[in-house]
Amino acid sequence: MRRIALVNQKGGVGKTTTAVNLSAGLARLDRRVLLVDLDPQSNATVSLGIQPHEQKNTTYAILSGAKPEPLPVEENLWILPSSIDLAGAEMELASAIGRETILRDALADLKGFDFVILDCTPSLGLLSINALTTAGEVMIPLQCEFLALHGISLLLRTVELVKRRLNPALSITGIIPCMYDARKSIARETLEEIETHFKDKVFKSKIRTNVRLAEAPSHGRSIFEYAPECYGAEDYLALAREVAGIEAIPRAAPSPASGALPAVQ
């Protein structure tokens, strides 16, 4: 079972969009996936059409001692939804013994998943630390815009500290370039900068800017259900294949809809 935390202390970089659509993409590749929503804003939960206030078995309840009961979403895909009361968890956890590993302990008995994907809040507080102690891998979505790498050293230091003190098996296994628009020179330059910095850790599959990806959450559906033909779906399926270690299918030519960037697998 691979446990992947999607982390970036900045908001709006594509963590949740990636958590939802990478999970749904892996599910389409016949992998059994559990998406864990660790953001009190519940964006991942809502993006999959689940009403946070109607849920009992939320990540807040689980951090408070409830037994996790994954909710089925679609074939091969389950979720542990979040709710607004998770906003108080940082404070409540602060005085708990073993506060950094409560989630890891709570999920220890979960079996039968190929992937657990943890969608984090844009902060490096206790909730994200709990994600980092639960995970075996960190993946960092980066927006291909000016200042993409600004502040990233704090994140890298935090991952290193968690690894040293709490979770020796943790490693950064991938940088996911998000909202890539090859027509913009700033996007190309940022991508170059990201590749110089992280080298082969950068996934070949870049996620292009695609309005369908921004629309899908309001319909409560993953990109594969909402607009399976769009290049947002193409990019997230390519990323899912890369994450799962499945060989890319050679493509004869980029499809006309795929914009300025040649098809990447």
Binding footprint of Mg ion on the chain (CB under 5 A): 15-16, 43
> Binders of ligand ADP among 124-183, rule CB under 6 A?
178-179
Q: How many residues bind ligand ADP (CB under 6 A)?
A: 17
Partner whose footprint covers residue 177, from ligand ADP, Mg ion, none (CB < 5 to 8 Å by kind): none
Distance of closest approach, residue 120 Cβ to ligand ADP, in angstroms: 8
Distance of closest approach, residue 129 Cβ to ligand ADP, in angstroms: 18
Is 214 an interacting residue with respect to ligand ADP (CB under 6 A)? yes
46 vs 240, which CB is nearer to Mg ion? Answer: 46
- Annotate the chain with three-state secondary structure: CEEEEECCCCCCCCHHHHHHHHHHHHHHCCCCEEEEECCCCCHHHHHCCCCHHHCCCCHHHHHCCCCCCCEEEECCEEEECCCHHHHHHHHHHCCCCCHHHHHHHHHCCCCCCCEEEEECCCCCCHHHHHHHHHCCEEEEEEECCCCCCCCHHHHHHHHHHHHHHCCCCCEEEEEEEECECCCCHHHHHHHHHHHHHHHHHECCCCCECCHHHHHHHHHCCCHHHHCCCCHHHHHHHHHHHHHHCCCCCCCCCCCHHHCCCCCCC
Per-residue mark of binding to ligand ADP, 47-86 (x: CB under 6 A): ----------------------------------------
Is 43 an interacting residue with respect to ligand ADP (CB under 6 A)? yes
Is 17 an interacting residue with respect to ligand ADP (CB under 6 A)? yes
Per CB under 6 A, residues contacting ligand ADP are 11-17, 43, 122, 178-179, 207, 209-210, 213-214, 217
